[in-house]
């Protein structure tokens, strides 16, 4: 299952940087699998193998109600024969009818893949890494293989090391979006020392340096905190406009939570001559496109432009 595979690389031609003497390429991890999106596919691979090795038939994981990781785990469970339980943040969801719940495209999809939900309050959700909380879940659901929130652990990082291939050593700079930092860690481990790896967090805060440091020994990387757009799940009209313009010109869809912010950041850096002339830049499209529909529902409510 989930064999070693690599995704195609497209060159990016975008009007905003057409006079700049750098070349930009994008690795289409979003096209790896129709439902198990991009980096979440990478992060699950060795975890699912481990679960099989330990003879588990249930996967339990955590996430928000619009989480790419929840959608991916549900799909992977269905495809590879695991029952899945999603511990979802927000106990107000527990009081909703199935019909109401299924207005959320992520939960609707996850349910269609057979995932069972366990809704918990935001305060309980914060305790999700504590032994007593996990023990309570085991009492309630029996034995399961635990996939951490966002899917990041050492096995996930190992999976993300397969994003880069030998052929990618020709690029000077590699850029990727960050949530927990697991994906960037794998990319760093697989990079060559002559390459620079740049991470773009989709949330505020500088704790990600420490997260990455747990998984890597190389020093050829840096985290750019300038393009989180106010925090996780936050977007602005400027960002939405950028995502729509980018798709119109290149045909490449971006998600508003991760890849949209990373691409915006990279284009802004290029416009400001951050990279030396002649730099070859490889962007990792980590997927996340399932999140567009949920974000558009929110944007409509706020009377903001939507993602086309």
Ligand X SMILES: *Cc1c(COP(=O)(O)O)cnc(C)c1O
Q: Which stretch binds ligand X (CB under 6 A): 16-24, 251-259, 266-274, 292-300?
A: 251-259
* Nearer to ligand X (CB atom), residue 168 or residue 255: 255
Q: Which stretch binds ligand X (CB under 6 A): 34-42, 50-58, 81-89, 266-274?
A: 34-42
Gyration radius of the chain over CA positions? 19
Question: Total number of residues binding ligand X (CB under 6 A)?
Answer: 21
Contact with ligand X (CB under 6 A) among 86, 105, 256, 288: 288
* Apex 177 CA angle, 1 and 168, nearest 5: 65
- Strand pairing of 23-28 and 9-11? antiparallel
Contact set for ligand X, span 183-222 (CB under 6 A)? 183-184
**Minimum distance, C-beta of residue 202 to ligand X, in the bound complex (Å):** 7
**Minimum distance, C-beta of residue 271 to ligand X, in the bound complex (Å):** 23
Using CA atoms, how far apart are residues 290 and 292, in angstroms rounded to an integer? 6
CB 65 within 8 A of CB 106: yes
**How is residue 239 written in tokens?**
């960002």
Contact with ligand X (CB under 6 A) among 7, 39, 106, 191: 39
CB 163 within 8 A of CB 140: no
Using CA atoms, how far apart are residues 249 and 18, in angstroms rounded to an integer? 12
Contact set for ligand X, span 164-183 (CB under 6 A)? 177-183
In the bound state, the residue with its beta carbon closest to ligand X is: 288
**Minimum distance, C-beta of residue 158 to ligand X, in the bound complex (Å):** 12
Q: Check residue 152 for interaction with ligand X (CB under 6 A).
A: yes
**Minimum distance, C-beta of residue 99 to ligand X, in the bound complex (Å):** 27
Among 151, 36, 180, 37, smallest CA distance to 86 is for: 151
**Minimum distance, C-beta of residue 207 to ligand X, in the bound complex (Å):** 12
Among 190, 294, 167, smallest CA distance to 176 is for: 190
- Phi and psi, residue 159, nearest 5°: -65, -40
Residues in contact with ligand X by the rule CB under 6 A: 38-40, 68-69, 150, 152, 177-184, 255, 258-259, 286-288
């Amino acid at each position: 299952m989930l064999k070693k595979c690599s995704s195609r690389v497209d060159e990016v031609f975008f009007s905003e940087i057409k006079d700049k003497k750098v070349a930009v390429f994008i690795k289409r991890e979003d096209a790896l699998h129709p439902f198990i999106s991009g980096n979440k596919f990478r992060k699950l691979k060795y975890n699912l193998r481990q679960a099989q090795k330990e003879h588990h038939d249930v996967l339990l994981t955590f996430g928000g109600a619009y989480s790419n990781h929840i959608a991916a785990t549900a799909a992977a469970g269905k495809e590879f024969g695991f029952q899945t339980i999603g511990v979802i943040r927000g106990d107000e969801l527990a009081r909703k009818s199935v019909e109401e719940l299924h207005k959320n495209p992520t939960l609707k999809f996850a349910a269609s893949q057979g995932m069972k939900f366990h809704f918990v309050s935001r305060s309980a959700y914060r305790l999700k890494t504590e032994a007593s909380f996990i023990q309570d879940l085991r009492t309630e659901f029996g034995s399961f293989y635990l996939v951490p929130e966002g899917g990041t652990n050492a096995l996930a990082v190992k999976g993300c090391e397969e994003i880069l291939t030998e052929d990618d050593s020709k690029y000077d700079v590699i850029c990727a979006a960050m949530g927990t930092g697991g994906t960037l860690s794998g990319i760093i481990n697989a990079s060559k020392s002559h390459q620079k790896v740049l991470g773009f967090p989709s949330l505020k805060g500088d704790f990600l340096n420490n997260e990455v440091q747990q998984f890597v020994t190389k020093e050829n990387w840096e985290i750019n905190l300038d393009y989180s757009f106010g925090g996780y799940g936050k977007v602005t009209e400027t960002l939405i406009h950028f995502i729509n313009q980018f798709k119109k010109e290149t045909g490449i869809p971006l998600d508003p939570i991760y890849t949209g912010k990373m691409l915006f950041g990279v284009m802004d850096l290029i416009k400001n001559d951050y990279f030396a002339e002649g730099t070859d830049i490889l962007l990792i499209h980590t997927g996340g496109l399932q999140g567009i529909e949920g974000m558009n529902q929110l944007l409509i409510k706020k009377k903001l432009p939507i993602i086309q």
